Amino acid sequence: MKRDIQERIQERIRFFRSFLAHPRQVGAVLPTSRWAVRNMLDMANFAEAQCVAELGAGTGVYSGEILDRLPPDGNFLAFEIDPNLVATLRERFDDPRIRIINDSAENVQDYLNGAKVDIIVSGLPFTSLPENVKQNIFKQAIRVLAPEGVMLVLQYSPLVQGDLTRMFASVRRRIAFLNVPPAFLFACRTALGEIPRR
Ligand SMILES: C[S@@+](CC[C@H](N)C(=O)[O-])C[C@H]1O[C@@H](n2cnc3c(N)ncnc32)[C@H](O)[C@@H]1O
């Protein structure tokens, strides 16, 4: 979907306003660059995903690229806690596959009707969220992820890697040097049949 430069600038202004209102919750002054978005999404197979959940969708930089990669019958739940950013997402996306949910990523399971998620995409700022919120979100992710599922995580520091290696059986890492600042990208899996270490 081609979007004009004015729309992009408007979205950046809204994002920055949300950052000023809730710096620790938003955790970045600008949305993620498209290089980092593509680099991270390339770590999972969206073409075969039936259910994808995005945590902290912001202005939708990941959401648009996820929709481009998702099959026509795929389901996509996009969680965003900030009502102003939710309004931006609702203006931007008119696609029957996406459900934009104004709730915390701590409550993903409440929206799944027992289904499992093939791919979780997180842009949440784990290092600046309260510790209990961070732990609740990791527990939710482990609970809702399909056995062969993958959780993709973008962070601006490697600090969260310790949590990820404790929670998941395997963690792969890439660094997106073209993002400002450079971003750490993780692909985390609970190997089939293994009990995750908590
Ligand atoms: C660093 S921004 C990333 C936004 C977007 N994914 C991107 O890459 O540009 C983090 C986003 O997570 C949202 N957020 C923070 N805590 C959340 C929570 N508990 N549940 C859902 N969204 C949350 C913030 O409002 C913000 O939009």
- Which atom from ligand 1 is nearest to the alpha carbon of 85? 27
Residue 51 is part of a domain; what is its CATH number?
A: 3.40.50.150
Residue 193 has pLDDT above 50, yes or no: no
> In degrees, to the nearest 5, what angle opens at C-alpha 35 toward C-alphas 32 and 37?
55
Q: What percent of the chain has pLDDT over 90?
A: 89
At 1 the pLDDT is 54
Q: Which of 81, 102, 133 to mutate to test the pocket of ligand 1 (most atoms within 8 A of CB)?
A: 81
Q: Is 195 part of any domain?
A: no
- Give residue 172's domain range: 5-189
Residue by residue, what is the 3-state secondary structure of the chain? Answer: CCCCHHHHHHHHHHHHHHHHHCHHHHCCCCCCCHHHHHHHHCCCCHHHCCEEEEECCCCCHHHHHHHHHCCCCCEEEEECCCHHHHHHHHHHCCCCCEEEECCCHHHHHHHCCCCCEEEEEECCCCCCCCHHHHHHHHHHHHHHEEEEEEEEEEECCHHHHHHHHHHCCEEEEEEECCCCCCEEEEEEECCCCCCCCC
Q: Is 194 part of any domain?
A: no
- Residue 77 and residue 53 in contact, taking contact as beta carbons nearer than 8 Å: yes
pLDDT tens readout for residues 106-144 = 999 999 999 999 999 999 999 999 999 999 999 999 999
Q: What average pLDDT does the segment 175-186 reach?
A: 92
Q: Which of 17, 22, 25 to mutate to test the pocket of ligand 1 (most atoms within 8 A of CB)?
A: 25
At 3 the pLDDT is 74
Domain count along the chain: 1
Average pLDDT, the chain: 94
Residue 2 has pLDDT above 70, yes or no: no
Is 104 touching ligand 1 by the criterion CB < 6 Å?
Answer: yes
At 180 the pLDDT is 85
Q: Is 185 part of any domain?
A: yes
- Residue 80 and residue 103 in contact, taking contact as beta carbons nearer than 8 Å: no
Question: pTM for the complete prediction?
Answer: 0.94
State in Å: Cα 151 to ligand 1 middle: 15
Q: Is 38 part of any domain?
A: yes
pLDDT tens readout for residues 137-179 = 999 999 999 999 999 999 999 999 999 999 999 999 999 998 8
Residue 30 has pLDDT above 60, yes or no: yes
**CB-side exposure of 144: number of CA atoms within 13 Å?**
29
At 33 the pLDDT is 93
